[in-house]
Amino acid sequence: MVCGVKTLGQFIIEKQSDFPYAKGELSRLLRDIGIASKIVNREVNKAGLVDILGDMGTTNIQGEEQKKLDVYANEQFIAALTSGGECCIVATEEEDEIIHIESPVSQNAKYIVCIDPLDGSSNTDVNVAVGTIFSIYRRKTIDGRAVLEDVLQKGTQQVAAGYVIYGSSTMLVYTTGKGVNGFTLDPSIGEFCLSHPNMRIPECGYMYSVNEGNYGHFPDGVKKYIKYCQVEDESTKRPYTSRYIGSMVGDIHRNLIKGGIYIYPTTSRSPNGKLRLLYECNPMALIIEQAGGKATTGFERILDIEPTELHQRVPIFIGSKKMVEKAEEMMLMYTEKSPAENKVADAKLNDLGVVGGID
């Protein structure tokens, strides 16, 4: 029988030759993440049948309720990275501090993994897509125990990043800085198989994703951009469609395939935004940039931010290049401007077809 399928494992080994001095460590690390995600997938898939839905009754460092699946996924990824032997530190959304991996097999490990083990966990109880997001760095220090500074690196230093989406099918999408490839889990053989080679995000899309319930708390630039998306204009195919799942992985995966913008801005209640730089924004920014899109805070490239804290939050505008640029234009026009300056900006926006107030 002829087998035309390319598995994730085969693909990773093939791609190792893109890095002439590679010794297979990164490949093994990616393999370990793939294995843990299959275990999490198994649990997510049968979640309604076993006692794994609902709250754990605990909160994480950021004061967020932990779901049972958050804790389960966290344990699985840490276990896989510990037994795999290629990772010296794991930084996860679910733990206050970095975790040093000090198993006998990890003595020479040089990689740091930052992970959101279960993204969108508020959706687990209602059978809506959730995900895992990961980011990989090489440690900067050479000897001894790796330290927090090894984790606090700019997004440009990532050697790989990816996500898994546990959706109507389960997919793993990753990049090592040479394009983006997507693999669909074939449950009958238990393997991720290459299904979306060389993924590219459309330069312009027609969908916007933002939690509009927070509209009253958004900066004026975001309010204006949302109005821009809603205005009728044939030449730019507006109004755009609004789609918001509430799982960053789900929203960004859809936008990657169909085109679109995802925004989680600052709000008057969350002055730094909600999403975490190290294990949500940086990995997604690398993937989207590698697919031809753009990711900024509204003013500054996400990947250029120098992290100062482990659980740092940043605002994010990410997706199709042209859409992000248009949103940035409006952020620039309206941020910290006087009412008189806002009037001038309003006049400019009228030319773009955005009319009326924002309240």
Distance of closest approach, residue 53 Cβ to ligand AHG, in angstroms: 14
Q: Which stretch binds ligand AHG (CB under 6 A): 79-87, 105-113, 114-122, 281-289?
A: 114-122
Q: Does 247 bind ligand AHG (CB under 6 A)?
A: yes
To the nearest whole angstrom, how small is the minimum distance from the Cβ of residue 347 to ligand AHG?
33
Which of residues 25, 32, 86, 119 is near Mn ion by CB under 5 A?
A: 119
List, in order, residues 6 or more apart from 256 with CB less than 8 Å away: 173, 180, 199, 201, 287, 288, 291, 293
Which one of residues 179, 246, 292, 353 is an interface residue with ligand AHG (CB under 6 A)?
Answer: 246
Q: Is 251 in the site for Mn ion (CB under 5 A)?
A: no
Q: How far apart are CA 72 and CA 59, in angstroms?
A: 14
Q: Which residues contact 98 (CB under 8 A, 6 or more apart)?
A: 89, 90, 91, 148, 151, 310
Based on the shown chain and the rule CB under 6 A, indicate whether residue 120 belongs to the binding site for ligand AHG. Answer: yes
Our finding on whether 94 is near ligand AHG (CB under 6 A) is no
Q: What is the contact mask toward Mn ion in residues 71 to 100, using x (rule: CB under 5 A)?
A: ----------------------x-------
Cα-only R_g, the chain: 21
Whole-angstrom distance, CA of residue 350 vs CA of residue 79: 56
Alpha carbon distance 137, 169 (integer Å): 28
Sign of CA dihedral 71, 263, 177, 312: negative
Q: Which stretch binds ligand AHG (CB under 6 A): 118-126, 163-171, 309-317, 322-330?
A: 118-126
- Considering the complex, what minimum distance in angstroms separates the CB of residue 353 from Mn ion? 34
Residue whose C-alpha is closest to residue 254's, from 163, 329, 121: 163
Which amino acid is it at 220?
D
Between 275 and 286, name the residue whose CB sits nearer to ligand AHG. Answer: 275
| Residues near Mn ion, by CB under 5 A | 93, 116, 118-119
| Residues near ligand AHG, by CB under 6 A | 64, 93, 116, 119-121, 211, 246-248, 274
